[in-house]
Structure 1
Amino acid sequence: MSQRDDTRPQGAAATARQRKPKPKRALWKRLLLWSGFGIGCLVAAGLVAFIIAYQAVDIPDPNEDFQTQTSFVYFADGKTQLGEFELQNRQSVALSDVPQSLQDAVIAAEDRSFYDNSGVDVVGIARAAWNNLRGESTQGASTITQQYVKIAYLSTDQTYTRKAKEAILALKIQRQLSKEEILQNYLNTIYFGRGAYGVQAAASAYFGVDVQELDVAQSAFLATVLNEPGNLDPAEGRQAKEAALQRYQYVIGGMVEEGTLNLEDAEQIDDQLPRTPVAETEEQFGGPKGYVLQMVQEELRAEGFSDEEIAGGGLRITTTFTEQDMNAVVAAVKQERPPGLDQLHVGVASVEPGTGAVRAVYGGPDYTAEREGAQINWATAGGQPGSSFKPFALLAGLRYGYSLNDSFDGNSPYFLPATGEEVENQGDSGGGSFGFVSLLYATQESINTAFVDLTVSMEDGPQKVLDAAVLAGIPEEQLAEVPAVPVVPLGFAPVSAIDMANAYATFAAGGERAEWFTVERVTDADGETLYEHRVESEQVIDPDIAADVSYALQQVVSAGTGTDASVLTCPAAGKTGTATGAEGEVSSSWFVGFTPELATAVMYVRGDGNDDLNGYLTPTFYGGDRPAATWTTAMEAETAGEECGTFPEPAFVSGTPPTTATTAPPATTAPAPTTTTTTQPPTTTQSPT
């Protein structure tokens, strides 16, 4: 029989003692456990969500505006800047061209851990989310990589969702690009104020230098203003200047702290801001140059360049315009045009004979002016040329077989044989009759009736005059709707100053015609040629006939209606033109002329081109007055410093040279300018350019 183990519990008491519960765990410990579990779940969920978001978010195409570069337009020398086309004022540069001091300053100002961080500022993201949830504005603290992502790929919305997407893209960009590439892209896209995007434009805007020329103080200043350009530009006032100095000292202190600037050098520059002269700002198309830039833009489009390439492709565009010629025509208009009189318009164009290169254009005082019609380029808009169209009738007559010596009816009135319609010699001549005069003298004194008689005497004469104008260089489409009537030499067909200058340039070039153009060459930012103009000229007029036309037009300047131009240093030829309406009102006034090296047309009109000039300035307004004076002033400056050429001797085709330069005028009539009376009211074509 076994013995009872007395050590074992006995009975119910023992059972109760065996089932006694363990002490319960403290409540706070349980709460802590569950909180930890919950946080772990949230972290895990957040991590899963981040992984999903990371995989779902693709790097988008860069914002188009931040991929653009300013295109620069140069005068004919290829060096002097005429203007620019831009969506944003930007010139991208390689990081190797950016001074180390500027790189260091930007890092000290914006992201001192740039070379060590992963491209993301976690604290900044959390702060943005918290502030957004509280309904407060978010704060900065983005890394340089995040800032670049925001600028180049995202909008500027300040929300936690954009901030999160920014972080994801920053991580992805960090894996695709080196730190140097990120910094280079950032420095070429960030806005510095004063309309400048990127460090090259900023260096020019604030200091007038290339980025390579920046010193340490200037570098620190640019790193200062990029934080808040609108509030840190000293040009904005004392408060902005004080804020800029405080930020500037912070940047310099950061450079010292990071070991990129020694304390001694810092103390020499941190007490005041570097001088930042306020650059003169002007509209991209402001002033007279706007009409020129607009013409260049149109020609680039015609040559196949897109608007995106023109305004943002970083092109280098060399034009045909010279600074001397452009300054000359602008100054001439300013000097000779009466002040005020907003409705008085002047168009001027200068073309090089033989090549068609446009050397100068004046289309108006300000392309960006806030007034109706300010964008009309009066150098390319049509106006009635009046008697300056007569040289084309002269050309037609010489080609037909007439000579400068052949005589035509200069009496007034003249009655058209077919209709009996009356044509008069008006203007300063007093409407007098000249009798039968040589074609040479009719040109010299601009005798209406003689030119109408010439036209009537040729078979299909009116069409021959129009054909001669096209042959010289007036675009055929401009004359397509012009009726072939006997008074067509009197210039009621609307043509532009630039086309008239080019047609007269054909006479100056001995009958060699070229199409006018404004763009000489286009290269990309690296200097690779994208386009180069090829001059294609054609001998369209017999050189002897061209010499005779030129000789007749020389007489206009030396002894006829255009003697105001005779003071020009170089030999000159030209023709006055005054177009009138049915009631004798002067609607446009011209002088078109040339030297052996340059042809220039000047046109004065009022209002829409049809309004009366008479009584607006003086009792009469003829081509031999203000237009001739404007032409002479411009041409004197345009040809200054250049060797004057000579005109060829006249050939007197189909005839024998006279014993004197001109046929003697009738004793009862003094040589005087005449105006054009047409059979229809003047009309002016104002084609938008």
Structure 2
Amino acid sequence: MSDQPSNGKRRATNSSGNSARTSRTTGTTRAGSKSGAKSGPRRSSGSGGARRGSGTKAPAGKPLSKKQRAWRIGRWFLSAFLAFVLILVVAAVVLYKTTDIPSPNEAFKKETTFVYYADGKHQVGRLVADNQNRNSLSYDAMPDNVKAAVVAAEDRTFWTNNGIDPKGIIRAAFSNARGNATQGASTITQQYVKILYLNQERSYKRKIKEAILSLKIKRQYSKEQILEGYLNTIYFGRGAYGIQAASQAYFGIDAKDLNLRQAAVLASVLNNPYGLDPANGADAKAALKERYDYVLSGMAKAGDVTAQKADWAEKHLPAFPKPKATNTYGGQMGHALTMVKSELLKLGFTPDQIEGGGLRVKTTLTRQAMNAAEQGVKEAEPDGFSDKKLHVGVASVQPGTGELKGFYGGQDFLRSQLNWAATDGGMVGSTMKPFTLAAGLTAGYSLKDTFDGNSPKEFSGVTVHNEGEAAGDYDGHDYGRVSALTALEQSINTAYVDMSASLPHGAKDVYDMARAAGIPPAKADKAYPGMPATSSADFRPDNFLLTLGNSKISPINLANAYATIDNGGVRANVHIVQKVTDRNGTVLYKYKPSDNSERVMSEDVADDVSYALQQTVQHGTGQAALALGRPAAGKTGTATKENAQGGSYVSSSWFVGYTPQLVTAVMYVRGDGDDQLDGWLPSYFGADYPARTWTAVMERALDGADSETFPPPAWVDGEAPSTGHAPMPTYTPPPPKKTQKPKPHKTHQPPKTPPTPHTSSAPPAPPTTEPSQPQPSKSSSEPAPKCSPWPVCNEDGGGTSGGGGTGTNPNADQPKARLTTTGD
């Protein structure tokens, strides 16, 4: 009995100490003991149940409660999540360690090359690679309001984040998963990485790489460097990459001059360069205003501007000037930029440097000369022919420097990329004769020596004709023996072929003289550079009738060859590039006149040829140039080409002339450069439309320049290479002319240089007209030629039948029908 309370006490304590103590206190120990004895197994069972709740295995066959199952699943997911996070961390570390920063996308490293006129200020145009119109600025050169506006628009945590925005990524992921508009959640650093190193692919793989590279870039570069790169690279619309190009595209000003409103607009359009461009309609402008207000409020919140200033700016958008045409190749500018590119390549610059190297190219072109060429053509060309494949090429070159000052290449570059000032488009006709005269004077002839001017005349089995004095005169006009001076004035074919044939090496001497003066040979030769054409079709030393101009030479190169005569016999290589620097101002190339000039004929010879060309303007075929009202020298040229019936037609018409300051060549051709002009144009004479065009161009190009005079002739006279070329006969005044010379527009007449006595025992200086021969009257407004176009029928005698003035007339007994064609 004595042990029973003790045992009961222990049981009570084992099962529930509190319960036992309570029983003893209330005097119910026995009852508690009995109760404890009876219920001991049940308590043990209850205790066992409690232990199952603490993780003890339940008896087999009894299911888990819902709470137990939920706890077990949650614990499993937690373990899986932790394992997944661990794997991600390990993978991220591995990717970070193994991912290298790639080379930047080539397109986004390229910068626009700017091409300027000779003044170095006004732009000719731009050379852009892969449509990447970009002009990079340093961070310090970027205005603070632009930096602040872009940060407010694109990444308000830019200055504090590590290159990525985890919250933004999660937010974008949920938004995209719910089917909302796609969000990028990209920081400025991520955007910079994407455009500079990656691509626009929308994939998780690209986004992961983007994030990793962003973290690396953040560690490698400062925030300032990242923002500078971003603002020089990002696309703003309107073809503009970078803030400087965008400032010009939207507001026509440099980035440094942007005000707050303008900066906020450019920051806003980054979100949607097309949809927020105000030039794209009212909806775009309304959307821009909404984004614009968001940017300004962000700037105010960040403390970049005061709230009052932001409120003031939010009242309205800035004024937008009318967008300029984005294509800089329109009009003549495309031709100019193409020539610049061609010359830069010849100078050794690579295509990548030219179009993506951010070069600054200073050209020889002037705005005055370029406008003069274009406006002069429009003024003088016949009405209604400009759209019928009439091609006019004009080139103006400065003597002594070789600088191409202006040109007109024909149609708008966007319509046709063929530059008729730069290509060897048409045969040059009698404009080649001055080089024959220079070769003759160098060989020992003088301006007073005479040559056979009768027509027709046979040379080694080849028949050459002059222009006929009247319609139907197929044999051409007989001049008898004429001086070299008169033969040039009246452009007498037979006399100049006679001169050429009498030279020590024949036509080769003419070729050598013309090539040395600046005409590239038929096969390109670095010793005789041209621009941009480095060759001239059919310009060969074995061309027997080279003096009649059956070679094709570009107006630019022909103008430069005449500039050699104008410059006293010293050739300066024609060029369009003066200077090239990089964007930092370092000089990469500069034209050196001393390295690009050469004396190719004596000064005395050049002065005599120049004098003869002055007389051609005063008394010969170039009298239309008198309208310039300045001392001028020049030569007409008209070339003929053989047709399928054995006859010929006029294929080109020229006038090349100069003052002491400027040389200009004008060429008229049709179709592909060989189509028929006579019977199609109102007049095909070189003294008509080409000479009038020359005058209109030169008047504008020389506006404001002083009127200068030429040096007097030297009247050189040496030992003639052959006999049979008697001195000039005694002068008697010529009969009055039936037509009057055109009156000059200016009030003064160019002074006439008096004949200078020759230092030898030769006769006195020759007159300007041949006394014993009638002088054909010329009129620039003459509606039709005075003779049939076969075989050589030109007002200036230039050109040849079948490209050479050769052959006899198979239908001499009947008039030759004029060929006619319709406008192409």
Cα offsets for 1:31-88 (capped at 9, x unmatched): 2222211211121122122222222221111111211211111111112211111121
Identify the match of residue 523 of structure 1 among 568, 571, 581. Answer: 581
Partner residue in 1 for 2:112: 70
Distance in structure 1 (CA, Å) of the matches to 2:497 and 2:198: 71
Paired residue secondary structure (1:331): helix
Partner residue in 2 for 1:687: none
Cα offsets for 1:101-146 (capped at 9, x unmatched): 2211111111111111111122443455567778876313311111
Q: 1:320 to 1:449 in 2, by over 3 A?
A: same
Identify the match of residue 507 of structure 2 among 462, 477, 491. Answer: 462
Asked if 1:579 is matched to 2:639, the reply is yes
Asked if 1:497 is matched to 2:547, the reply is no
Distance in structure 2 (CA, Å) of the matches to 1:422 and 1:573: 27
Distance in structure 2 (CA, Å) of the matches to 1:590 and 1:426: 20
Q: Show the 5 A alignment for 1:6-45.
A: 6=7, 20-21=48-49, 22-24=51-53, 26-27=67-68, 28-45=70-87
Task: Report the count of equivalent residues.
Answer: 676
Partner residue in 2 for 1:251: 295
Deviation at 1:487, TM superposition (A): 2.3
Asked if 1:670 is matched to 2:712, the reply is no
Distance in structure 2 (CA, Å) of the matches to 1:556 and 1:135: 84
Cα offsets for 1:312-367 (capped at 9, x unmatched): 11111111111111111111112222343331111111111112111112212212
Partner residue in 2 for 1:628: 691
Asked if 1:56 is matched to 2:108, the reply is no
Partner residue in 2 for 1:176: 220
Letter paired with 2:694: W
Cα offsets for 1:153-200 (capped at 9, x unmatched): 111122222112111111111101111111111111111111111111
Q: 1:200 to 1:422 in 2, by over 3 A?
A: closer
Identify the match of residue 145 of structure 1 among 185, 189, 214. Answer: 189
Q: 1:321 to 1:216 in 2, by over 3 A?
A: same
Asked if 1:680 is matched to 2:802, the reply is yes
Identify the match of residue 310 of structure 1 among 354, 358, 362. Answer: 354
Q: Conserved in 2, the CA contact under 8 Å of 1:345 and 1:378?
A: yes
Q: 1:345 to 1:29 in 2, by over 3 A?
A: same
Q: Which runs of 5+ in 2 are unaligned?
A: 12-35, 55-66, 524-534, 718-757, 779-794, 806-824
Paired residue secondary structure (2:274): helix
Cα offsets for 1:601-625 (capped at 9, x unmatched): 111111111100112221x401111
Distance in structure 2 (CA, Å) of the matches to 1:255 and 1:669: 85
Asked if 1:563 is matched to 2:623, the reply is yes
Q: 1:682 to 1:299 in 2, by over 3 A?
A: farther
Letter paired with 2:767: A
Q: Show the 5 A alignment for 1:111-130.
A: 111-126=155-170
Asked if 1:472 is matched to 2:517, the reply is yes
Distance in structure 2 (CA, Å) of the matches to 1:366 and 1:658: 53
Paired residue secondary structure (1:520): strand
Q: Show the 5 A alignment for 1:367-382.
A: 367-369=413-415, 374-382=416-424
Deviation at 1:246, TM superposition (A): 0.9
Q: 1:272 to 1:11 in 2, by over 3 A?
A: closer
Identify the match of residue 649 of structure 1 among 712, 716, 722. Answer: 712
Letter paired with 2:73: L
Partner residue in 1 for 2:652: 588
Q: Conserved in 2, the CA contact under 8 Å of 1:410 and 1:447?
A: yes
Q: 1:629 to 1:658 in 2, by over 3 A?
A: farther
Q: Show the 5 A alignment for 1:167-566.
A: 167-338=211-382, 339=384, 340-369=386-415, 374-382=416-424, 383-416=426-459, 418-419=460-461, 421-426=463-468, 431-476=476-521, 477=523, 478=535, 482=540, 484-535=542-593, 536-566=596-626
Distance in structure 2 (CA, Å) of the matches to 1:600 and 1:657: 35
Q: 1:458 to 1:97 in 2, by over 3 A?
A: closer
Q: 1:341 to 1:223 in 2, by over 3 A?
A: closer
Partner residue in 1 for 2:767: 661
Superposition misfits of 4+ residues, deviation over 6 angstroms? 8-17, 131-137
Asked if 1:110 is matched to 2:168, the reply is no
Q: 1:658 to 1:130 in 2, by over 3 A?
A: farther
Letter paired with 1:106: V
Cα offsets for 1:252-274 (capped at 9, x unmatched): 11112222221221222212110
Deviation at 1:18, TM superposition (A): 5.4
Identify the match of residue 678 of structure 2 among 614, 624, 628. Answer: 614
Q: Which runs of 5+ in 1 are unaligned?
A: 684-689
Q: Which moved more, 1:642-651 or 1:6-15?
A: 6-15
Partner residue in 1 for 2:785: none
Paired residue secondary structure (1:231): coil
Paired residue secondary structure (1:361): strand
Identity %: 47
Paired residue secondary structure (2:420): coil
Q: Conserved in 2, the CA contact under 8 Å of 1:427 and 1:675?
A: no
Q: Which moved more, 1:260-269 or 1:247-256?
A: 260-269
Distance in structure 2 (CA, Å) of the matches to 1:609 and 1:420: 26
Partner residue in 2 for 1:686: none
| TM score, norm. by length of structure 1 | 0.93
Distance in structure 2 (CA, Å) of the matches to 1:124 and 1:587: 73
| TM score, norm. by length of structure 2 | 0.78
Distance in structure 2 (CA, Å) of the matches to 1:567 and 1:407: 31
Distance in structure 1 (CA, Å) of the matches to 2:320 and 2:197: 32
Partner residue in 1 for 2:128: 86
Paired residue secondary structure (1:272): coil
Q: Conserved in 1, the CA contact under 8 Å of 2:653 and 2:669?
A: yes
Q: Conserved in 2, the CA contact under 8 Å of 1:610 and 1:682?
A: no
Distance in structure 1 (CA, Å) of the matches to 2:257 and 2:351: 32
Distance in structure 2 (CA, Å) of the matches to 1:459 and 1:289: 46
Cα offsets for 1:633-677 (capped at 9, x unmatched): 111111111123221111111164745531435454424433335
Q: 1:218 to 1:682 in 2, by over 3 A?
A: farther
Q: Show the 5 A alignment for 1:149-164.
A: 149-164=193-208
Q: 1:552 to 1:428 in 2, by over 3 A?
A: farther
Letter paired with 2:188: I
Q: 1:180 to 1:669 in 2, by over 3 A?
A: closer
Q: Conserved in 1, the CA contact under 8 Å of 2:247 and 2:255?
A: yes
Paired residue secondary structure (2:514): helix
Paired residue secondary structure (1:155): coil
Letter paired with 2:82: G
Q: Conserved in 2, the CA contact under 8 Å of 1:425 and 1:449?
A: no
